[in-house]
């Protein structure tokens, strides 16, 4: 799949539009306000599911960009722009996760979720910096952030499994 400049520009503009709209609104995810709100248990699990879907989408898209870059189907500049768009969307989600006060029994799940998103944010930032500069140090930091994000994703999945039963 080759990503065109129009698709990259479109994604970038969508990211900016969503960021602006969420910043100006009460910030809602699937009808659940996440503006410094203590969640009920069922609402928290619904919010958690929505957040993890966003995590997966962000990771999949970042992986597609990386794959296209490695195959020389997109330039480093276009890869940087596309990754920056994903970074913006992930940053908004990470910020929203930080605003939620989970029910007591979900504290560990919430902590691991927040850590996974924070490390994903670091991965995307450093990946974009790598595309921008070509400096291997950014690729190395991105790899470490990716691994940490996946580690905390696994911990969160263990917590989620406990509550699914």
Q: What is the three-state SS of 115-140? A: HHHHHHHHHHHHHHHHHHHCCHHHHH
Q: What is the pLDDT of residue 38?
A: 54
C-alpha to C-alpha distance for 138 and 140, rounded to whole angstroms: 5
Q: What is the pLDDT of residue 10?
A: 46
What does pLDDT average to in each consecutive run of 10 residues of the chain (165 residues)?
49 47 44 51 87 93 95 95 94 92 92 96 97 96 97 94 78
Q: What is the pLDDT of residue 42?
A: 83
Q: What is the pLDDT of residue 6?
A: 47
Q: What is the pLDDT of residue 165?
A: 64
Encoded tokens for 45 = 């699990």
pTM of the model: 0.76
Q: Which helix (H) or strand (E) holds 106?
A: none
Burial of 8 (0-12, 13-18, 19+ CB in 10 A): buried
Q: What is the pLDDT of residue 39?
A: 58
């Amino acid at each position: 799949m080759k990503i065109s400049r129009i698709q990259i520009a479109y994604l970038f503009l969508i990211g900016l539009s969503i960021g602006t709209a969420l910043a100006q609104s009460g910030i809602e995810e699937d009808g659940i306000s996440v503006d410094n709100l203590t969640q009920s248990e069922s609402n928290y699990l619904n919010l958690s599911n929505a957040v993890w879907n966003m995590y997966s989408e962000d990771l999949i898209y970042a992986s597609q960009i990386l794959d296209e870059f490695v195959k020389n189907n997109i330039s480093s500049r276009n890869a940087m722009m596309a990754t920056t768009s994903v970074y913006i969307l992930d940053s908004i989600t990470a910020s929203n996760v930080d605003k939620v006060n989970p029910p007591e029994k979900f504290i560990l799940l919430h902590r691991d979720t927040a850590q996974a998103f924070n490390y994903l944010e670091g991965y995307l930032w450093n990946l974009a910096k790598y595309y921008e500069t070509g400096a291997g140090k950014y690729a190395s930091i991105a790899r470490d952030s990716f691994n940490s994000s996946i580690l905390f994703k696994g911990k969160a999945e263990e917590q989620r499994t406990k509550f699914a039963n």
